[in-house]
Each structure stands twice: as structure tokens, then as C-alpha cells.
Structure 1
Amino acid sequence: MSRLTLAQANTIIAAALERGAEIGLKPLSVAVLDPGGHLIAFQRQDGASTLRPEIATAKAAGALGLGVSSRTIGEMAADRPSFIGSLGPISPKGVLPAAGGVIIVDGEGLPIGAVGITGDTSDNDEDCALAGIAAAGLTPQE
């Protein structure tokens, strides 16, 4: 299994923030976690609200915890709201059922980390996460 480095995490963040600026998004917050859910790097743009670090981290941590993107967790919540709602108290970094949390995989499809982004619409957050992953030469989970 590959390892996600600090340099790669910083590239992801820089490219995600650049993408957000390109398309005129509200201030973003970006968290990059290792496969165990530990924070590697984080940045919050000027003007981002105070809960954004926790939201970005919960999108990424929830994705890692369930093995699917936070978008998929949101879809699961529509079918099983009690199940998804019960995960918050047992997840140390939270689970947030909205797009913007994307798992990063190695060449064998194994998770090497995740990106969580918040600040604009969930679709835009996810777009920036994917742009950051691509800029670092990494692969998002399909």
C-alpha cells in the first residue's frame, strides 16, 4: 500500500482552493486524512465559518469509516436515516452525509487517505476535492 505524504496533502489542498477560486466559490475548508482518519493537513480560507474544520474532517472521516464517499453516505441516509444518524456518537471524528468527502486509493484500490471539503454547495465541495486529488497525481475511489 502506498502512503499519502504531507507534500501530496498540501498539493491537494492548494489545488482544491485554486479550483474554488477559479469557479468563484465561498471560502473553503479542506482536511486531508490518512487511512486511519488522522489529520495530515488542513487549511481554512479567510472568512470560513467556525464549524468548517469539524465538517471537513467529518466528511473525510465518515467516508473512510464506511468505505464510501460522503455523497454515498448521504444517499444511504435517505434509505436508512436511523442507521446513518446513529453513527455520529460512535465515530470519533464524525460522519457527515453530504458530498465533499472522497477516499483516495492506491494502484490496488486500497485507501491511502481521504479529502473532506466544505464551504460551498456539496457538489462544488466534491468538485474541488476531485481537482485536488487529480493535481496530486492520485486516484479517487470509484
Structure 2
Amino acid sequence: MAEISAGKARSIIRKAFAKGDEMGFKPLSVVVLDAGGHVKAFERADGAAPGRFAIANGKAYGAIMLGMAGTAQMARAEQQAYFMAAANGVFGGNVVPVPGGVLVRDKRDNVIGAVGVTGDTSDNDLIAAMAGIEAVGLTGEG
């Protein structure tokens, strides 16, 4: 099974930060998870709140564990709040069902991980995540 290398994970983070800087976003925190939901890399920009790891991780973790990007999770939560509440309970409250949690696919369309970005609006977090993923030649599903 293909996976995100540590080098690509770090590149995704750098490119997401660069996109945030370019667009004037608030300080971001970015996590990259492998297909099993384990952290490959994480970085919190200077000035980002210290609790941002849990939020970034929750966005990415929800995407991996549910096989559903953050935008789709939010829509599901709005339509079936009981389902997302139950799913979040199953995963120990570690799912943050909002944009900024992005599934990462390889060239064969296999899910090989997820990226979670937090620090600005959820929509801007998603923009930064997608920029980081696309910069390393992978495909994001946000």
C-alpha cells in the first residue's frame, strides 16, 4: 500500500503555510496523517494557539476514520446530527467535522492519508490544505 512519506508530509505543511502567508491567513497549524490515522508530521506556526494540534488532528482523523472529508462531515452533521455525535463518541470525541480535514489520494485514487489545517476560517483552512497537497503532486478531497 502506498503511503505519504515523511518528506512529502513536511512539504505539504510548508506549502500549506506558504499559501496561508500568501493569502494573509491567521497563523496555521497543519497535521499530516497516514492511512491508519497516525501522525506523519505536524507543525504549529509562530503565533498559533497551543491547542491547535487537537483541532487539526481532529479534522484529519475524522476524514480518515470516516472516509469522508471535512466538508462532507459537516453536511452530514447538519442533516444527521445524531450520526455524527455517535461517530464522534465511537472515536473518543476526536472528530472535528468541519472543512479543513482533507483526504489525500495518490495517482491511483487510493486514500493514503489526510491533512488537517486549523487557525483561520474553516474555508481558508481548506484552501491551505489543498494547496499543500496539490504542491506535492497528490489529490485532495476536501
Cα deviation, residue 92, structure 1: 4.8
Give the conservation status (yes or no) of the 8 Å contact 1:57–1:93: no
Superposition TM-score, scaled by structure 1 size: 0.95
Give the conservation status (yes or no) of the 8 Å contact 2:107–2:138: no
**Paired position in structure 2 for 1:34:** 34
**Paired position in structure 2 for 1:72:** 72
Cα deviation, residue 87, structure 1: 2.2
In 1: Cα distance, 2:67 partner to 2:17 partner = 25
In 2: Cα distance, 1:76 partner to 1:128 partner = 23
In 1: Cα distance, 2:89 partner to 2:78 partner = 19
In 1: Cα distance, 2:93 partner to 2:59 partner = 9
**Paired position in structure 2 for 1:46:** 46
Cα deviation, residue 131, structure 1: 0.2
Cα deviation, residue 24, structure 1: 0.4
Look up the SS of the partner of 1:112 in the other structure. Answer: strand
Query: What is the aligned-residue identity percentage?
Result: 44
**Paired position in structure 2 for 1:25:** 25
For residues 90-127 of structure 1, what are the alpha-carbon distances to aligned partners after superposition, in whole Å with 9 as ceiling and x for unaligned?
Answer: 21571111100101112222110000000000000000
Give the conservation status (yes or no) of the 8 Å contact 1:33–1:61: yes
- Find out whether 1:90 has 2:64 as its counterpart: no
- Find out whether 1:111 has 2:117 as its counterpart: no
Look up the SS of the partner of 1:124 in the other structure. Answer: helix
Superposition TM-score, scaled by structure 2 size: 0.95
**Paired position in structure 1 for 2:57:** 57
In 2: Cα distance, 1:115 partner to 1:93 partner = 18
Segments of 5+ residues of structure 1 without an aligned counterpart are: none
- Over the residues paired in the alignment, what is the CA RMSD in angstroms? 1.3
